[in-house]
Amino acid sequence: MIANYGYKDGSGDFFISIDTNKCMECEEKPCMEACPAGILEKFADDYNDVVVGVKEEHRKKIKYSCAECKPASGKRNLACQAACKPDAIAHTW
């Protein structure tokens, strides 16, 4: 399953998408530790797969939560993506 967490508003599309089929194969889930804002969590989804998702309290302000890794200009450093071994995390913005 491709799970998209985030939102679209007047200012744009802000989603983190997680490929749960890839994510469930990874035991350690190092992405959670890697995220400086601590927005990721591990849980069992509706089909009982243990996967990573964006914490509820961050879903509606993800543009702001992720701001630290995405400066207005200069190099972006997406720590979660870099840490994800199965390449399951993508950002839309």
Partner 1 sequence: MVEVKEFWRWKEYNWKNPDIQWKDAAVITAGVDVGSVSSQAVVMCDNEIYAFANMRTGSDSPNGALNAMKWALEDTGMTLDDIHCKVGTGYGRVNVPFADRAITEIACHAKGANYMYGPTVRTIMDMGGQDCKAIRCDEKGKVVSFLMNDKCAAGTGRGMESFASLLGVSIEEVGELSLQVEEEPPPVSNTCVVFAKTEATGLLRSGWSTEKVLAAYCSAMAHRVVSLLERIGMEEDFAITGGIAKNVGVVSRLEKELGVKALKPRYDTQIAGAMGAALFAKALVEKGENR
Partner 2 sequence: MITAGIDVGNKNTRALILKDGEVLARSLVPSGFDQKKAARDVFDATLKRAGISEADVDYTMATGTGQEKVTFAHGRVTEVSSAARGAVKIFPGARTVIDVGAEEGRAIKTDEKGKVMDFAINEKCAAGTGSFVESMSRALEVTLEEMGPLSLNGENSVPMNAQCAVFAESEVISLIHSRIPKEDIAKSIHEAMASRISSMVRRVGIQKDVVMLGGVAYNKGFVEALEEDLELKLLIPEDYPEYISAFGAALVAVDKAGSK
**Under the rule (CB under 8 A), what is the footprint of partner 1?**
1-4, 6-10, 13, 15, 45-47, 59-61, 92
Q: Which stretch in 22-30, 47-55, 69-77, 85-93 sits in contact with partner 2 by CB under 8 A?
A: 69-77
What's the Cα-to-Cα distance from 43 to each of 24, 49, 56, rounded to whole Å? 10, 8, 12
- Under rule CB under 8 A, residue 72 binds partner 2: yes
Report the C-alpha gap between 13 and 92 in whole angstroms.
7
In the complex with partner 1, the residue whose CB is nearer, 16 or 35, is 16
**Residue from 71, 76, 85, 92 that binds partner 2 (CB under 8 A)?**
71
How many CA within 13 A on the CB side of residue 82? Answer: 9
